[in-house]
A = this chain, B = another copy of it.
Amino acid sequence: MAGDSIGKLFKVTNWGESHGPMLGAVVEGCPAGLTLSVDDIQPALDRRKPGQSKIVSQRKESDIVQIVSGLVDGVTTGTPISLLLQNQDQKSKDYSNIAELFRPSHGDFTYQQKYGIRDVAGGGRTSARVTAASVAAGAIAVKLLAVRHGIKITAWVESVQDIEFKTDPESVTAEQVESNIVRCPDESIAKQMIKRIEQVRKAGDTIGGVVACCVQRVPVGLGEPIYDKLEADLARAMLSINASKGFEIGSGFSGTLMKGSEHNDQFISKEQKIMTASNFSGGIQAGISNGMPINFRVAFKPVATLLQKQKTVNKQGETVDYQVHGRHDPCVLPRAVPIVEAMAALVLCDHSLRHFGTQL
């Protein structure tokens, strides 16, 4: 049973390969009456696209989205919204040398074994290029959440390898994040990160890091226990992103070191609203948003594609050397930021429809 759809009421079906003619997503469940245009979607795609700076892959894709259904005169009609993205910079020949072997920590081996066939060009559907369609769909969710609830989702690069920027999540602004190419809100630490990425790139190696995310102005009530808890669906969405290896909500792993008397978030009344004095819960209690900012972190491993010579096996199980040349991301973090935001938006939007209904 295929797994290319996400969401139950706000549902996205993602299709397309890295080097096929195009990619796309069908968005079902977007309420009628939402003003929507390419301008609502393109900025997120531009933040995700390759070639945007010297520290990301130099593949050239304009990633211009087309909306080919679901609108009348710039307004959604309640019918499926189909989004198309043309692939432009496919270089299938680049990949011919890897058709017979399994690149380490890529999907070559598992796809070959699972399906008995794989799309070698660009990694086919194992490529993070498929996240472009997720980002396009996510941009619709972002808009819907803003219109319905005023929700604001901000992700940023918290760490690149051991270079880390810790801050109050609620203080981070989109402007800070976009003020530099690595998407870390602190200018000085951003510079260190960029320098590290460039060093690693020159060495033909790759590095990982952590993306943090803060969702503000979330209404109380999103999340459906006992299995579709909000943090559970966020975790799933984040772990579905290429190269992600971990997820934490609120206090996360570090919360395991605390005592309950320290960790409990005391309820208080402020401006006639019940809130909590601390937020170790990360904005979710018993699987349901409690109105506080939702804070979570996502770990990304170092990218598997590196330019150094490596050993692996071919289909016959024989050990072979291999080395790739060409375009790759030395560090996925800067481009992961809009992906994390998009996936968070998809989850929150789905839960918004589930709790508040399917009308605008």
State whether the Cβ of A208 lies closer than 8 Å to any Cβ in chain B.
Answer: yes
Cα of A5 to Cα of B4 in the assembled complex, Å: 13
Q: Which residue of B15, B69, B207, B248 contacts A80 across the interface (Cβ within 8 Å)?
A: B15
Quick check: A114 and B355 within 8 Å, CB to CB? Answer: yes
Closest to A315 in B: B274
> Which residues on the B side are within 8 Å of A167 (C-beta)?
none
Partner of A226, one of B130, B223, B281, B317: B130
Residue pair B246, A227 in contact (C-beta under 8 Å): no
Q: What band does the interface of chain A fall in when counting residues whose beta carbon is under 8 Å from B?
A: 35 or more
* A288 lies within 8 A of B240 (CB): no
Please name all residues of chain B whose beta carbon is closer than 8 Å to the beta carbon of A159 when the two chains form the complex: 256
* 0/1 interface trace, chain A 299-341, chain B, CB 8 Å (1 if under): 1111111101011110001110000000000000000000000
- Asked if A267 meets B80 with Cβ closer than 8 Å, knowing A289-B110, A313-B274, the reply is no
Chain B residues contacting A147 (CB-CB under 8 Å) are: none
Using A317-B274, A356-B357 as known contacts, say yes or no to A260 and B1 having CB atoms under 8 A apart: no
Residues of B within 8 A of A234 (CB): 239
Contact A125 B357 (CB under 8 A): no
Stretch at the interface among A44-52, A57-65, A100-108: A100-108
User: At the interface, yes or no: A79 with Cβ under 8 Å from chain B?
Assistant: yes
A215 CB to nearest B CB, Å: 16
Per a CB cutoff under 8 Å, which of B4, B8, B223, B299 touches A79? Answer: B4
**A245, B235: Cβ atoms under 8 Å?**
no
When the two chains form their complex, are residues A104 and B266 in contact, meaning their CB atoms are under 8 A apart?
yes
Chain A residues 237 to 271 lying within 8 A of chain B, measured CB to CB, are: 237-240, 242, 245-253, 255-269
